[in-house]
Amino acid sequence: MKFDKNKNEDKNIEILKKEIKKTNTKYSKVLIDLLFSPTTSEEFRIRIKDSISAHIENEIKN
């Protein structure tokens, strides 16, 4: 991944999103959905905790 200092931030963030999408793991979507929403880092941590916990529990059940 390479950010471009001559591009504005939003375009560079698109680069980051694409890179995360490229990893194509079951967690890519969860991360993209939450990472770029306007929350504080602490709120984000709680939401990630809830989402990933639910995700793992679901995986175990199946």
Partner 1 sequence: MKAYFIKSIQIEGFRGINNNSSPLKIIFKPNGVTSIFGENGKGKSSIFEAFVFAILGRIIRFDDYHSDIKDRNSIKNLFHASDGKIKIEFINELNNVIEIDILVDANGERTVNSTSVSNPNLFLATLCNKLNFLDHKSFEKIIISSAEDTGKLFSNLVGFSKFIDIKEKLDKISRTQNINTDFNRSQKEKSIIENEKKITQLIEQIKEKLESVDVTINSYDKLMVLEIVKKFINKSYGQKIKKVTIDSNINFDLLIRNKVGLNYEADVSKLTELRNTLNNTLSLSKSVKSFNSKTVNSLSDKLKIAYLEIESDADILLGKLYEKAIDSYDKISEVDKNNCILCDTTSLNKNEQTFYDQIKNKIKLFNKFKSKYSVFYNLLVNKIEVSQIKTIEKLYANDDEKIFSELKIEAVFFSKDFFESNNIQTLISAYVQKIEISKANLLLAISELNKKLPPKLSEFIELNNVYKSIFDLIVEIDNLQISNNRNTKYLFELESWTKFIGEVKDSYENSYNILMDEIALNIDSDTKSFFKDIMGNVEITPKLKKDNRGQKVNILLEKFYSNTSELRAAPILSESYRNALSLSIYFASALRSKSLGNFIILDDITSSFDSGHQIHLLELIKRKICISSTNKKGKQIIFLTHDGLLKKLLNENGALKDWQHYVLNSNKDIVSISPLKSDDLKLNITHKINSGNYLGSDFRMYYEFVLLEIIEKLDLEVPFSLIYNNDTKMVSKLSNAIHEIIELKRLSRKAKSVFLRLPNKSDFKSYVQQLTNNLSHWGSGREISLSTPVLNKIIDDIDDFKKQFQYNCTCPAKNIGWVYFNSLSSPKHKGCNCSI
Residues in contact with partner 1 by the rule CB under 8 A: 1-5, 8-10, 12-13, 16, 19-20, 23, 25, 27-28, 31, 35-36, 41-42, 44-45, 48-49, 52-53, 55-56, 59-60
Cβ pair 35, 26 in contact under 8 A = no
Q: What is d(CA 56, CA 60) in angstroms, rounded to the nearest whole number?
A: 6
Q: What is d(CA 12, CA 46) in angstroms, rounded to the nearest whole number?
A: 26
